[in-house]
Structure 1
Amino acid sequence: MPRADINRSGEMEIFVRVVESGGFSAAARRSNMTPSAVSKLVGRLETRLGSRLINRSTRQFQLTAEGCSFYENAVRILADIEDAERHAGAGEAPRGLVRVNTSASYANHILAPLLPRFLDAYPGISVELVLTDMVVDLVAERADIAIRAGPMVDSRLIARKLGETALAIVGSPAYFERHGVPATAGDLEHHGRLGFGYRRAVGGWTVPGDHGPVEIPAVGRVSASDGEALRHLAIAGAGLARLAGFSIAQDLAEGRLVAVLDTDETRLMEAFHAVYIGQGGPLPQRVRVLLDFLAEHGQVS
């Protein structure tokens, strides 16, 4: 029988503070406790669970695999408790911070214009944006929601689709004046192809060949870590880039960029999803309302 005097939610809250503060001393200050008391509490928790949650040294603080799993579950359980108390109260409006990990392209072209409307609708919610095109670990990055492009491969994640967009190979008029306009896949070998500086699920550019579509690697003299940087490089004439249609729609309309090799055969569609960790259980209300808002207003095309 479990001991009735164990304050499990209190232990979880202190453990979460230790993880999110990056150490015992910082968590102690947030909890109005001594570092020794916090360390002993975590030690008792580890003893009761029979697992080491944190590898400690004088200079290093690192979660074990068990610690990462316990942290993920503790955050979810504490959020459920908060939601239960809120619903049992007076139906209080959602409050708190939502951390969103997204690409600079989605943030600039889709999310930023929408956020004022969301913030007006939910004055108790704050949003923190972390911008990267790389796929990140939501637990390690402490993200509530991530906006991801491409196929879903992480079975821990639950996804809500935000539409799909066509990828287009584009360059600036000035670039084409200097280097000519590629008409075939073979022509691309003679052009600078701006690519991402990290491995992606879709690494090359699908273009028509003599015997069907072929994939051309995006290898050039310049690479970058996010699509917005590649967009600016393409506008400046540094080379060709393959970019999401929603991020370059205005550039194409106003003539800053021109699409090439753009046919139904070569057009690749890329799906976008808002993802979060979970197994279908209740979400914190602050996260759920933002997910609902993105599903309704944050669609790409």
Structure 2
Amino acid sequence: MARIEINRSGEMEVFIRVVEQGGFSAAARICRMTPSAVSKLVARLETRLGTRLVNRSTRRFQLTPEGRAFYERATRILADIEDAERCAGAGEKPVGRIRLNTSASYATHILAPVLPEFLCRHPGVTLDIVQTDAVIDLLADRSDVAIRAGPLKSSSLVARKLGETMMVIVAAPSYLAAFGEPKTIGDLERHNRLGFGYVREIDGWPLRHDGETVIVPVGGRIQASDGEGLRHLALGGSGLARLAAFTVADDIAAGRLVPVLEDLNPGDQEVFHAIHVGQGGPLPSRVRALLDFLAERGRIG
């Protein structure tokens, strides 16, 4: 029996157009096919995969969970194919979209000032920047690179160190004028300590006490999802915040924020990494270009 050749990448491309256009007719116009041909192709794809990808009706078009998962993986596969072909034909010139997941603090204070240089160096690259301090699954989030602070937990991740930063407790002059400046750990009980709204590696503020480092619970009335949000709350006079030094250096120099409890600072530092998935395998040229650039121009400290 003759083997039937299946154009898997072609099927993926048509299916992606169906999803992005929201139906068979719109996808057919882009793919220069008839709506019936597109419908039959998707039906053949479902038969081969053994699962329904799309729920069809006369008025609605809806992806199944399996269809959503297939769409996301197919999109990445075709992007990698396109990148490989362009690299082979253009001396590995970086081209394509990069999804970068980073904290708002790093994006604001480190990344934003140098991004124009990266875009100038690599005009064929586009960036999709997602800002969050929460720990993410790179595969589930479809991220190519993530910038994260703290120790790495997964052996499946490859990291490039971008530097490290001291931590500092700060407050606005207006807050200190209203509530006084804390001098001891005990003084913190009467102060609003701004905290993060998610679980961190160290759940509290490390401070020196009798020659040892103790962890003081945050216990404030306000929480935020990222460090940049806490910085703005501190600037507004809402309370004390313990933040990365690089994020508040300009505020301290300008007098907008004041360091407190410096004699109790244990000197701990947060390490920043640019991480990506994969152990030793080849990287798309666009991802490698970003990692190289961050190691050169996106360092902390």
Q: Do both proteins adopt the same fold according to a TM-score greater than 0.5, normalized to the shorter chain?
A: yes
Return the offset for 1:42: 4.8
Give yes or no for contact 2:87–2:285 (8 Å, CA) kept in 1: no
**Partner residue of 2:147?**
147
Return the offset for 1:49: 4.7
Deviations 1:242-275 (A, max 9, x none): 1111111111222221222335862221121222
Give yes or no for contact 2:22–2:61 (8 Å, CA) kept in 1: no
Query: What RMSD in Å do the two structures reach over aligned CA positions?
Result: 3.2
Q: Paired residues, what number?
A: 297
Give yes or no for contact 1:148–1:273 (8 Å, CA) kept in 2: yes
Q: Distance in 2 between matches of 1:159 and 1:132?
A: 18
Q: Distance in 1 between matches of 2:153 and 2:21?
A: 29
> How has the CA–CA distance of structure 1 residues 182 and 164 changed in structure 2, closer, same or farther, with 3 Å as cutoff?
same
Q: Distance in 2 between matches of 1:155 and 1:39?
A: 43
Which amino acid in 1 is paired with 2:116?
P
SS at match of 1:193: coil
**Partner residue of 2:300?**
300
Q: Distance in 1 between matches of 2:199 and 2:54?
A: 31
Deviations 1:64-83 (A, max 9, x none): 4x974x66765554344323
Structure possessing the higher radius of gyration over alpha carbons: 2
Q: 1:61 aligns with which of 41, 54, 63?
A: 63
Q: Distance in 1 between matches of 2:2 and 2:71?
A: 21
**Partner residue of 1:234?**
234
Give yes or no for contact 2:209–2:264 (8 Å, CA) kept in 1: no
Which amino acid in 2 is paired with 1:251?
D
Which amino acid in 2 is paired with 1:147?
I
> How has the CA–CA distance of structure 1 residues 39 and 149 changed in structure 2, closer, same or farther, with 3 Å as cutoff?
farther
Q: Distance in 1 between matches of 2:237 and 2:130?
A: 28
**Partner residue of 1:197?**
197
Return the offset for 1:142: 3.1
SS at match of 2:249: helix
Matches within 5 A, 1:211-222: 212-222=212-222
**Partner residue of 2:207?**
207
Q: Distance in 1 between matches of 2:107 and 2:49?
A: 41
> How has the CA–CA distance of structure 1 residues 251 and 89 changed in structure 2, closer, same or farther, with 3 Å as cutoff?
same
Q: Distance in 2 between matches of 1:15 and 1:278?
A: 27
Give yes or no for contact 2:231–2:241 (8 Å, CA) kept in 1: yes
Give yes or no for contact 1:163–1:273 (8 Å, CA) kept in 2: yes
Return the offset for 1:241: 0.5
Q: Distance in 1 between matches of 2:149 and 2:2?
A: 45
> How has the CA–CA distance of structure 1 residues 183 and 159 changed in structure 2, closer, same or farther, with 3 Å as cutoff?
same
Matches within 5 A, 1:121-270: 121-210=121-210, 212-263=212-263, 266-270=266-270
> How has the CA–CA distance of structure 1 residues 256 and 288 changed in structure 2, closer, same or farther, with 3 Å as cutoff?
same
Q: Distance in 2 between matches of 1:141 and 1:239?
A: 33
Q: Distance in 2 between matches of 1:131 and 1:38?
A: 37
SS at match of 1:220: coil
**Partner residue of 2:116?**
116
Which amino acid in 2 is paired with 1:61?
L
Higher mean C-alpha displacement, 36-45 vs 253-262: 36-45
Return the offset for 1:18: 6.0
* Consecutive unaligned residues in structure 2, runs of 5 or more: none
Give yes or no for contact 1:184–1:209 (8 Å, CA) kept in 2: no
Deviations 1:134-174 (A, max 9, x none): 22333443332221222222444332221111121111222
TM-score by length of 1: 0.83
- What percent of counterpart residues are identical? 60
Q: Distance in 2 between matches of 1:184 and 1:81?
A: 59
Higher mean C-alpha displacement, 187-196 vs 41-50: 41-50
Return the offset for 1:9: 2.3
SS at match of 2:194: strand
**Partner residue of 2:275?**
275
SS at match of 1:167: strand
TM-score by length of 2: 0.83
Give yes or no for contact 1:53–1:67 (8 Å, CA) kept in 2: no
Which amino acid in 1 is paired with 2:63?
F
Give yes or no for contact 1:170–1:259 (8 Å, CA) kept in 2: yes
Give yes or no for contact 1:184–1:208 (8 Å, CA) kept in 2: no
Return the offset for 1:283: 2.1
Which amino acid in 2 is paired with 1:267?
G
SS at match of 1:242: strand
Give yes or no for contact 2:23–2:61 (8 Å, CA) kept in 1: no
